[in-house]
Amino acid sequence: MLDEPNGKSDSRDQEDTYRVGPPDPECLEGPSPHPSQDLNEVITEAEREESRFQFSMAEMLLLVGAVALFLGVLGCFPREYSAGLAGLGALASMLVLILLKPTQPIVRLGWWIVLVIYALMVVTTMMEEN
């Protein structure tokens, strides 16, 4: 390669620098200092299922619809009874979780949403009484 300003070759200057590897890892010469490991071999099936906390848009839409329906049914009752009914809903959904043992994490998220709604309704009912 010729350097335009001084017209000399700068290839002698590059002998002291390190060699840059090719972008394709298949073209590398010699073994890698760190052996590659497949992630599927490292983690177990239970850990893989436990770490999967992802939802599809359809599942989220179904969850939002179910929570809206739950809140709509609670809105049909007087405020004095709605906190108790939310508690019964949380208890019923907990029993469903225990008996059916669903594997989808969206079901567990739905139970936590029902439980939070119940807790918020209890707190607001207690604050209204004072």
pLDDT in tens, 69-121: 999 999 999 887 888 888 898 899 889 889 988 878 888 899 899 999 999 98
Taking the CA atoms of residue 87, residue 90, residue 95 and residue 97 in that order, the dihedral angle to the nearest 10 degrees is -170
Instruction: Output the pLDDT for position 66.
Output: 93
For 14-59, what is the HEC assignment? HCCCCCCCCCCHHHCCCCCCCCCCCHHHHCCHHHHHHHCCCCCHHH
Contact between 107 and 60 (Cβ < 8 Å): no
Tokens found for residue 32: 């890698």
Residue 36 forms part of a structural domain: no
Residue 47 forms part of a structural domain: no
Domain residues for 100? Answer: 54-129
Residue 89 forms part of a structural domain: yes
Residue 100 forms part of a structural domain: yes
Residue 75 forms part of a structural domain: yes
Residue 13 forms part of a structural domain: no
Residue 60 forms part of a structural domain: yes
* Residue 32: pLDDT band with limits 50, 70, 90: low
Residue 110 forms part of a structural domain: yes
The count of domains in the chain is 1
Longest dimension (CA), the chain: 91
Instruction: Output the pLDDT for position 31.
Output: 63
